[in-house]
Structure 1
Amino acid sequence: MENRYRILWILALASLFLGLGASCEREEKEEEEKLYMSGFVDYDIPTFVGIGETITLTASGITEPSEVEYKWYFGASYNDTLSSQTVTVTFPDSLGTFAIIGIAVAPDYYNSSATQNVTTVDIRREKSLKGLKYSDKVFTDARDGIKYEYVTIGNLDWFVRNLAYYKKGSAFQHSPITHTLFGRYYSWEEATGGRSASGLGCGPQGICPKGWSVPTNEDWVDLATAIAGKQMTFVDNWAGLGDKLSVDAWFNDERIWPYSPDNIHSNTVGWNALATGNTQYDHSLFRGFNEYGFWWSSTQKNETQAYYRYIHSENDFCPMNFTSKEHFGASVRCVRLAK
């Protein structure tokens, strides 16, 4: 009798475990029946936007299923009003970086999502960009109304900020709001219109405003000679000038040039060089931000290459180099003969 009860107890336990197993199998089967969406959630948004700016976002990219609902996550919580393929978002009137998540939802499918971080900037003086030296000499570009301060060094007037004319080149990270802060990146062909030149004050107008030109090798040498107080040549490394030309500026409370005891970025001549880096592959790739600054010469080396000067964050030189005329993007400083 005791054995009979023991057998019945074992059978009951087995039945219970089998039932639990079947239940788990059903749950796993139901889970397995969910499908993965085809495609990826995609939406265009600049990496940088102005404080208080309103932008419109449209999600796309999912090809299967044909009907999906898009939800948006902005800030700290879901917002029911942001459940649409196209939404309008207004950013705060303060500086910060915000995550925007677009989510595709459909019955019987796993959700698909994409996240992009967006940083707000304030282009007013000494807001997002702080620490520059300002000049009382100002030129207004009649093409777009942008004002450029300039200083006289040696025999030339030099812009003390990078050119920002929007008809060519690219803004940093393809975010138009940044070109008033950092200028734009231009290929040599875009900067000069394909015209090489030499001689003091003899550069091509190129992308510069009327009356100004893209500096030649001789213009650069005039700058270096005036600052160094002795005759310089274009091929010199210009030791010490990288410090005197670059500025210890801050962008959204972070140093643009990382601290280095070998270059304290004294900016003694108020040239305001920033570590804005360069672009490559027709402005599709941005490199060297916070590390290098690059500026074109209008003098070509040969049919496919042209000269530029650069500053690195960890030394006080301002050497020259050369690169592709078409596939490298650098900053432009415009010059003219001083009156």
Structure 2
Amino acid sequence: MTPPATAAPEAPVRAQQADEFDVDTGTLGGEQKKPWEQLALALFIGIPFLAVLAAVPIAWGGFLGWRDVILAVVFYTVAGHGISIGFHRLFTHKSFKPNRPMKYALAIAGSLAIEGPVIRWVADHRKHHKFSDRDGDPHSPWKYGTSLGALTKGFVHAHVGWLFDTEQTPQRQYAPDLLKDKDIIKVSRMFPLLVTISVLMPAVIGGLWSWSIGGALTAFFWASLVRIALLHHVTWSINSICHTIGDRPFKSRDKSGNVWWLAILSQGESWHNLHHSDPTCARHGVLKGQLDTSARTIWFFEKMGWVSDVRWPVRERLEARRVDADAKTRLKAAA
């Protein structure tokens, strides 16, 4: 006797459920920002920024100690390199291959910067590279034109305004590889917990270190609020400042430039012209005197055996991408 055919419709239902599940996998919310996400974003931008404005009088009043400085520098360095090495050079551009513990460590460290879940961050940045300084770029300062007024408006958009766009980058289109990585999905879903740790851990350490409520409060102010604001605005400056001004020694199809005075604070990310000329290169500061602490850290990880297949710059490839390479070719042809 043949079984009844009532079970046949289950397959498309399951496929549909799986498809719906994949849309939101690895991040908070869907492809549209909800009002509560906009509010949370505004709070995490506004409150730390107010702390920066209050930093000078608070420091002048004696509420800044060496413990606060140490904690702020340590948390800034860990989270900053988590963004530059992990979110950017590894997960976005595949500049090297990490072992599993290093992959976890970099994903967690980058999440401590509170710039969004790793998969969401990567999707946005890959879309930026696809449409860099053209229609479709999520954060180009040239979005509204080249006049002073248009560029001013575009600069604000590139620096912070784009974060409030309701439409979000489709993760399944721009980060399908990460949506298949169970480790990265796990870390991306841990984002709210990691935000809590990033905000509160400095206060906990400062309180235990000084064994006082005052030590906890000053650590929270400097190593949480001020540190978060500084790292946010340095990161966003790569979108705004480094796509508006700077030297451009390498050929690229956009307006990415090198801004030397941001190099230390950005962990080498402000050597932005070479990065857009050769995005998968693990080192951005390739010319003499260009400090790139992210590249140096990757070098250390490689020596320790924690990462492999690092895409270091190749001299011939760099020379071919130099702006003056075309001039040299023309001179040789003329001779």
Into which bin does the TM-score normalised by the smaller protein fall? under 0.3
Higher helix proportion (structure 1 or 2): 2
Rg: which structure is higher?
Answer: 1
Higher strand proportion (structure 1 or 2): 1
TM-score (norm 1): 0.22
TM-score (norm 2): 0.22
